[in-house]
Amino acid sequence: MEKVYMLHGFMGTSKSHFSSQIDYFKEKYELVFLDLPGHGDSPLESTEDYFEHALEYVISRLKVGGEGYLMGLSLGASLAVHISLREPELVKGTILTGYTPYIPERLKEVMEKQYDYFINIEENNTQIAQSFENLHGNKWRKTLEHVLHTMTFKYPGISKADFEKLNTPVLLLNGSNDKHEVEAVAYVKENKEDALIGLIPGAGHTANLDQPDVFNRIVEDFLELRGS
C-alpha cells in the first residue's frame, strides 16, 4: 500500500486533526501519523526555531519510511509544501487544507490579537487549555509559545518563484468561509497552473473536519488518479 503521511496543525495531533479521514482511507493506504515536535506522542520537544526543526524532523521520517503522499492541515500544509520543495523525490503528491502561502497585510492585526488570546489561554479559555494539556502533557505551554510565535511573526511563506519550482502534484482544498483562504486558492492556481484546487462550501479553516464527506471523496479521486 502507498503511504500517506498525516501532518497536523497548531496544537493538534495527527489522529485528532485527521479523525474524519482515518476510517475512510485506512483500508486502501498506509496512514503514517506524525506528531510534530512538542505535540502528542512526538519524541522531540519544541524549539524556538520551530518550523525548521519540524521540517527536518518530518524529512528524517520520510527518509526512513520512504516516498509517499503528504496530507497537511494548516501548519502541516505549510510543512508539506516546504518539504516538496526541499526533497521532491520523497513526495508523490501533496494534499493541503487550511493553507495560505502568505499572510495578507490586513490580517496582521488579527493575527496579533489571536496571538494575545492564545498566549493567555489559561485565563481566556480554561477548557481549551485543559484540552491542550490532555493532548500534549506538561510540555504544551512551551510548544504553544514556540509555534504561536513562529506562525504569527515568522510565517513560513512561499513566493511566486518558489511555486514555479514546485514540481510535485498538488491538491488544495480550502473552506469557502474564510476570505483569505479563498484568495489563497486563487494565488496557488495562478502560480502553479497544474495544481488541482477546490473550495468546500460551508467549511472554514479545517475543511477536512467541517465537511469530511466532500473532502474525502475529492482526496480519494486525487490519490486514485495519481496511482493509476
The set of residues, in sequence order, having a beta carbon less than 8 Å from that of 107 and lying 6+ positions away, is 180
Considering the domain boundaries, does residue 31 fall inside one?
Answer: yes
Give the pLDDT band (50/70/90) at residue 94.
very high
- Asked whether residue 79 carries a pLDDT value surpassing 80, the answer given is yes
Q: Which domain holds residue 52?
A: 3-105+155-227
Task: Give Cα 120 to chain centroid, integer Å.
Answer: 24
Helix (H, G, I), strand (E, B) or coil at 70: strand
According to the model, what pLDDT value does residue 186 have?
95
- Residue 73 backbone class (left: φ over 0; alpha: ψ -120 to 50; beta: rest): beta
Which phi and psi (to 5°) does residue 170 adopt?
-130, 130
What is the C-alpha to C-alpha distance for residues 94 and 69, in angstroms, rounded to an integer? 6
**For the chain, percent of residues with pLDDT exceeding 70:** 100
**For the chain, percent of residues with pLDDT exceeding 90:** 93
The pTM assigned to this predicted structure is: 0.96
Considering the domain boundaries, does residue 133 fall inside one?
Answer: no
Considering the domain boundaries, does residue 76 fall inside one?
Answer: yes
Instruction: Dump pLDDT digits (tens) for 117-164.
Output: 999 999 999 999 999 999 999 999 999 999 999 999 999 999 989 988
CATH number, domain at 22?
3.40.50.1820
What is the C-alpha to C-alpha distance for residues 156 and 101, in angstroms, rounded to an integer? 8
- Asked whether residue 111 carries a pLDDT value surpassing 80, the answer given is yes
Considering the domain boundaries, does residue 126 fall inside one?
Answer: no
Considering the domain boundaries, does residue 160 fall inside one?
Answer: yes
Please tell me the least confidently modeled range out of 7-11, 65-69, 110-114, 215-219.
Answer: 110-114
Give the pLDDT band (50/70/90) at residue 104.
confident
First CA to last CA distance, the chain: 13
Contact 206, 97 (CB under 8 A): yes
According to the model, what pLDDT value does residue 228 have?
53
Considering the domain boundaries, does residue 150 fall inside one?
Answer: no
Beta-ladder partners of 199: 174
The candidate with the shortest Cα–Cα distance to 215, out of 224, 206, 228, is 206
Give the pLDDT band (50/70/90) at residue 195.
very high
Q: Residue 228 is placed in which grid cell?
A: 493509476
According to the model, what pLDDT value does residue 107 have?
86
Residue 115: Cβ within 10 Å count: 15
Mean pLDDT for the chain overall: 96
Instruction: Dump pLDDT digits (tens) for 165-186.
Output: 999 999 999 999 999 999 999 9
Q: In degrees to the nearest 10, what's the CA dihedral of 60, 62, 66, 67?
A: -140
- Which amino acid belongs to residue 53? H
According to the model, what pLDDT value does residue 105 have?
87
According to the model, what pLDDT value does residue 75 have?
98
Considering the domain boundaries, does residue 147 fall inside one?
Answer: no
According to the model, what pLDDT value does residue 25 have?
98
According to the model, what pLDDT value does residue 164 have?
87
According to the model, what pLDDT value does residue 166 have?
93
Mean pLDDT of the 52-68 span: 98
- Asked whether residue 34 carries a pLDDT value surpassing 90, the answer given is yes
Q: Residue 150 is placed in which grid cell?
A: 513562529
Considering the domain boundaries, does residue 138 fall inside one?
Answer: no
**Number of domains the chain is built from:** 1
